[in-house]
Amino acid sequence: MEIEEWEKRYVEAVSNVKSELLNVQGVFVAYNSNVDAMKHVREENIKSLIRIVGFEKIREKIIAYPREINEPADFLARLIIAMRDGKAAEVPTYTSDLHEWLMDNMVFDSARMGGQAGIISNLLANLGVENVITYVPWLSKDQSEYFVDSPNLKHPVIENGKLFLKHPKDAYDPDQKPKINWILEFSKGVRFRCSGEEFVVPRDNRLIVSSRPKWLRIDMNPEMYEQLSGIRENIDGAILSGYQMIKEEYDDGTTYKDYVKRAVNVIERLKGCNPQMRLHVEFTSIQNKVIRKALLTDIVKKHVTSLGLDTVEVANALNVLGYEELAYSVINKGENSIVSLYEGAAMLLKELELQRVHIHSLGFYICVVSKDHPLDADAHRQALLFASAVAATQAATGNIESIDDIDIGLSVPVYDQGYRDLIELEKHLVRSNICSAADFEDGCISALDHDLIIVPSKVVKDPVATVGIGDAISAGAFIALLAKMPKINICRVME
């Protein structure tokens, strides 16, 4: 299919999904929300910070590749690695010292809603989803101010033993401290020197320094858990994220196993009498391999229906599941990397017993779907195209205020390189007798034990912001699929 034909498919898909979104009764979104301190890193910033910390110390840390940030040298090492490679990364810090050091030596440009669940909740509310029920275990007054003022956005709260749904600004804990992350964005072409080497940033991207204070828990209080039935009657599905914040051990003697078990209990409680409820987990960068594997094998596997990842996250997932060679091939920049990405997606679908694996990569999206998924390939393709238009709008404007804004994304052209990457995948599939060139033409391929849906995406040349783009892609596709699902609330039928 030529690019011009893809553009026509985009217009058709967006029009269809916009007319169907009212079919969605509601979505539950949890857990991670925080305040993002935004900083666009310029050449003079990186030079100044390198002078303050020192070349030699930073060089040692780059070699060591710190997986958490305990001091400024750890921070500079991971920032330089991210800028050098042009790749997104998220690294945790368990102390407030770095925040104070950055405030003393750089200062942020602005603050905004952060965290996958927070970003997705605001997006879905602005798209007009009837009920967006967000849940943040650490909802503070400061945090509540970053949720959009929309009557369809609600947060559960227990009052006098009863469950009520209120806007987050009326549901916060007055004693809760805010969680603040640093988002350091950098632009393609920025030059800097470190340890005698000169680097040029190859691509717009960002480093996220995620604060993990000791009080942070991915959990739900017992009263809220017991009354989840009052929420599930108003939703068709759930988007869950933030599991990367689970720690191996806690000061009170509990371990990650306790919080994994509680996370699964919440999922099963949400399903309740409706085991067919759509449940999506949005993956992210998880430095700790024990937690990464536990999320995949103990929370995702057998408990949810859908998983969303980017290219690096696919490699990380494959690595902890024992597919190291395939993981390496996924992140290798060779011409076969897209083939490995598809094979990796198919492996995750099978290994984790999912119905859907959605991968967003620069220039194209890949979705591998099990044969027992209730929707056909065309519905999945429309969902991906809608998601791409949503992401393009988010990148171009920095904020989507209504469903009509998506037309802005339609004006962004399909990315040429992404279109060419898909041609490489076509060659592999045809050579492997998985499909014919004609089958590949419309982006919907029926393989032996799964369906493959691929679309070239729209990419904004000079994005206003990069944070939240992946969340917009996954949430956009998921909500589009929910809009197309048969609407039978088994819980209500039984009652």
The amino acid sitting at 234 is N
Give the phi and the psi of residue 140 in degrees, each rounded to 5: -100, 170
Burial 384-416 (b: 16+ CB within 10 A, else e): bbbbbbbbbbbbbbebbeebebbebbbebebbe
Among 447, 429, 457, 313, smallest CA distance to 368 is for: 447
Taking the C-alpha atoms of residue 221 and residue 217, their distance in angstroms, rounded to an integer, is 10
* Lookup: tokens for 395: 């990148």
- Looking at residue 393, the DSSP 8-state letter turns out to be H
CA 438, distance to chain mean position in Å, is 33
Candidates 353, 363, 323; CA nearest to 340 is 323
Catalytic amino acids?
471
Q: Using the 8-state DSSP alphabet, how is residue 402 labeled?
A: S
- The edge-to-edge listing of strands for the beta sheet with 89-93 is 89-93, 205-211, 180-186, 34-40, 110-114
How wide is the angle at C-alpha 350 spanned by C-alphas 346 and 353, nearest 5°?
A: 135
Task: Provide the 3-class DSSP secondary structure of residue 361.
Answer: strand
For residues 179 and 152, is the Cβ–Cβ distance under 8 A? no
CB hemisphere CA count around 447 (13 angstroms): 17
**Three-class secondary structure of residue 234 per DSSP:** coil
Chain centroid, CA 397 distance in Å: 19
